[in-house]
Structure formats: structure tokens, C-alpha cells
Chain A
Amino acid sequence: MMVAFADIVRRDVRLALRQGADSLTVVAFFIIGVVLFAFGVGPEMAVLERISAGVLWVMALLASLLSLDRLFQTDYEDGSLDLLALTPTPLGVIVAAKVTAHWLTTGLPLIATAPVLAVLLNMNTAGFGALMLAMILGTPTLSLIGAVGAALVLGARRGGVLLSLLVLPLYIPVLVFGVSAIDSAVMGMATQAQFFILGALLLGTLVLCPWATQAALRQAVE
């Protein structure tokens, strides 16, 4: 089972890297979105500093959302999803592997880019540690929740727009506590509670989301 898990992670990461542009597009979207905010709000450093945590998290959410369609869509179209569903490996494990690969190719680049953008947005240096830790705890949750949505819209009409309507409301807790952790750190207050909640969200979704996703996949390949 662990072998199958590792194999699928390796396959998906390799596919993403070969197509190359995929991960880079997500990062580029993340950067351009943040830059648009800077243009829209204006270059005042104080304003940018105040909104930096929120802007970074909202853009990370949207960037993560944007890349969800490749999680199952291509496998669904070329039929490999049917084959994966037929293997003796439990579908939940396959889902977990695919989500891991998705996080490695989108979540990780986002985490790596975030501090650079935080500098551009003039974020207080006290918030950097909290930003990194919150991103590390939060982005896997985004991939896990997104997987449920991506599996549900397989074969639907206007899947992309629908996906955002399904997934974004469920992203809100991560956004709220991710931003609140950074704001508390900047103001010099205790951030433990926010990190505990982000960790709890990650653990909860880690248990429930692969299960819900495999139920959604089963009815899609049926």
C-alpha cells in the first residue's frame, strides 16, 4: 500500500514537472494577483502593511483553487482514473497520494513564494515566522478540501466556475485563522491558539476529506 502511495505521488509529481508550466503558472498567478492589489490599493506602505496578511492568504486560496482542475480532470478524461479505481489499493489511499502530489507541486511553491511577496507588501518582520508556519499548516488543508470539490464536479457542465462556488466557502476557516495568526504575531500577541486550530483543521480534513473524495470519485467513474 505504501509502495502504491509512493508510486502515485512520484507519477503525479513527474507529470506536473514534465508539463512544467503548471506549477509555474500557479506561482505566476499568485504573484500577479498580489501585484494587482498593490496597484489597486495604491503604494502607501502603511496600507499595504495592514492588508498584507489578508491579501497573501486570499491569493494563496485562489491560486490553490485554480490548480485543482488538474487533480483528477486529466485522469478522468483519459480513463486512468477508472484503472486506478480498479486497483486493489484502497481508493482513499490513492486520493491521499494524489493530494500529496498536488500539495508538493502547488502548496510548496506557494509557501516558497509567500515571504518574497510579504517583503513586497511591506509586512512587519515579526509576522514572517507566523506566515510560514500558518502556510505550512494551511495549504495542505486547502488541497484536501479542494480534492473533494474537484472530485464532485467531474463530468459536470461548467465545472470550473462550479468548483469555486463549492470550495471557497469551505476554505473560509483556513483563511480566518491563517490571517489571524499573522496579525496576532505582528501585534506581539500569543499565536498558539490559531496554530492549534489550523493544526486541528489539517488533522480533521486529513481524516475526512480523502474519504469524502473517494465516495465522490466512485460515483464519477461508476
Chain B
Amino acid sequence: MHRFANPTRFLRLSAAILPWSAGLTIVLMAVGLVTGLMVSPADYQQGESVRIMYVHVPSAWMGMLAYSVMAISSAVALIWKHPLADLIAKSSAPAGAAFTFLCLVTGSLWGKPMWGAWWVWDARLTSMLILLFLYLGYMALVSAFDDPARGAKAGAILALVGFVNVPIIKFSVDWWNTLHQPASVTKLGMPSIATPMLIPLLVMALAFHAYYVTVLLLGVRAEITAAKVRAIRLTQVHE
């Protein structure tokens, strides 16, 4: 892990990965959207609106994954003072917040025809909303200090404290009797979803992962560049 703590090595490595992850995003997204919106069958109960799932479910997964990445890299940053881990946590937050927001918006659009309401105060919806607030709080805290290192450290502690919410979201549909349906893909044994629907869903999930990797790498590269610019400005002030 410490091999990758070197920013120069990271810049070289990420420059090699970026075109691949960006290309993969475009290809998978195209395939996933075409199969999801045109090829896959409509649901016998929900009709055409089931297609919202191909955006809604992957963005929910990514919202939680991005927070987990943020929390784990925060822990790494606090324990080993890994210089890149802070930047990864910081760049993961806006992407995760966007995924969570997308999940809430698509869920709301899906909820209207299915449940007859844009929003219900259901355990999973509410905990997802809390996740969005945790992201917003994290981003506000990180940018509230004049010294970026202070902000990163305070943010790391907050990310770890807020991490308790992720298992609550994951298991909320099992623990509480809610309107939101329980997990149907990540069940042990056979997933209870028809294969023609599962394939576009998984393709879309992969596309979202590739997109997340692309955005994360771009964000970290931008942070490294910003740090360099700050250092150059400081030397100019001293001269």
C-alpha cells in the first residue's frame, strides 16, 4: 500500500488507467442503457417503469460504496498518515453525494407510479437521505478550514463516525418491515430477479463502477495538481 503513497507514481499509474476506465464507462453505459431500455422485458406488474431500476439500484450501491471507500481511506489516512488516502476520501465525497442524490431522485420518480407517493418516510429512504446529509456535512467540514490538512483530518474523523449509517441502510429493509422491497440481487443462493433483467442491471452496475473509478482518479489528480500550485505560490511569496 505504501508503494502507492508516492504522488508521482500515482500520477503515472492513474494516467495509464484513466483512458481504460473512461472507455469502459462509455461502452458499458451504452450497452447497459440499450439492453436495459429496449431489449429487456417490461415487468408483468410494474410495466415499463421497472426500467428506472437500471439507474436507481446501481446508484444506490455506488452511494454506499463511495462512502465505504471514503471511510476506509479516512482510517488509512489517520492511522498511517498516507498522503493520498486523504485526497481519495476528499474526491470520493462529491461523487458519492451525486450517486446518493441520483438514487433518491430516481427512487422518487419510481415511487410515484408504484406507491402513489413521491416520498414515504420509510427506513431505507430516510437512512439514504441521512447518508446524503453525511456527505454534505463532510464536504462542508473539509472546506471550512483555511489549512487543507486540518480539514482533511477533521473530515476523516467525521467520515468514520458517520460510517455507522452504512450497515443501517444495507439492512434496514431486513430489520424493519418497510414499503421498500428487500434485497433481491445480493441474496444468498439464486437472486430472485429474472435473468433478462439481471444482465442489464449488472452491466449498468459495472458501468457505474467504471465511472466512479474515472471520476475518483480525476479528482485525486486535480487535488495533487492543486497542492503543487499551492506550494509554488508559497515559494513565490517567500522570495
Contact = CB atoms under 8 A, between A and B. Distances in A.
B162 A170 contact: yes
Contacts of A158: 144
Interface stretch (B50-58, B128-136, B217-225): B128-136
Contacts of B112: none
Contacts of B37: none
B34 interface: no
Interface in B124-159: 126, 130, 133-134, 136-137, 140-141, 144-146, 150, 153-154, 157-158
A148 B162 CA distance: 11
A220 B151 CA distance: 10
Interface in A131-169: 148, 152-153, 155-159, 162, 165-166, 168-169
B160 interface: yes
Interface in A208-222: 208, 212, 215-216, 219-220
Contacts, number: 58
B61 to A, nearest CB: 21
B202 interface: no
A172 interface: yes
Contacts of B126: 172
Contact of B134 (A169, A208, A212, A219): A169
A158, A166, A219: residue with the most chain B Cβ atoms closer than 10 Å: A166
Nearest to B155: A152
B120 to A, nearest CB: 15
Contact of B141 (A153, A168, A169): A153
Given A170-B161, A219-B153, A219-B154, A152 B141 contact: yes
Contact of A169 (B78, B137, B150, B153): B137
Interface residues of A, number: 21
A155 B150 contact: yes
A37 B13 CA distance: 58
Contacts of B136: 165
B144 A153 contact: yes
B176 to A, nearest CB: 11
Contacts of B160: 212
A156 B145 contact: yes
A43 to B, nearest CB: 26
Nearest to A165: B137
Given A170-B161, A212-B160, A216-B157, A156 B141 contact: yes
Given A169-B137, A219-B154, A156 B161 contact: no
A156 B154 contact: yes
Contacts of A170: 161-162
A66 B7 CA distance: 42
A209 to B, nearest CB: 8
The 4 closest A-B pairs by CB, nearest first: A156-B144, A169-B133, A219-B153, A165-B137
Interface of B: 78, 126, 130, 133-134, 136-137, 140-141, 144-146, 150, 153-154, 157-158, 160-162, 165
Given A212-B157, A215-B78, 16 more contacts: A148-B157, A152-B157, A152-B158, A153-B141, A155-B145, A155-B150, A162-B140, A165-B136, A165-B137, A166-B140, A170-B162, A172-B126, A172-B130, A208-B161, A212-B161, A219-B157
19 contacts: A148-B161, A152-B154, A152-B157, A153-B141, A155-B150, A156-B144, A158-B144, A162-B137, A165-B136, A165-B137, A166-B140, A166-B141, A169-B134, A169-B162, A169-B165, A212-B157, A212-B160, A215-B78, A220-B150
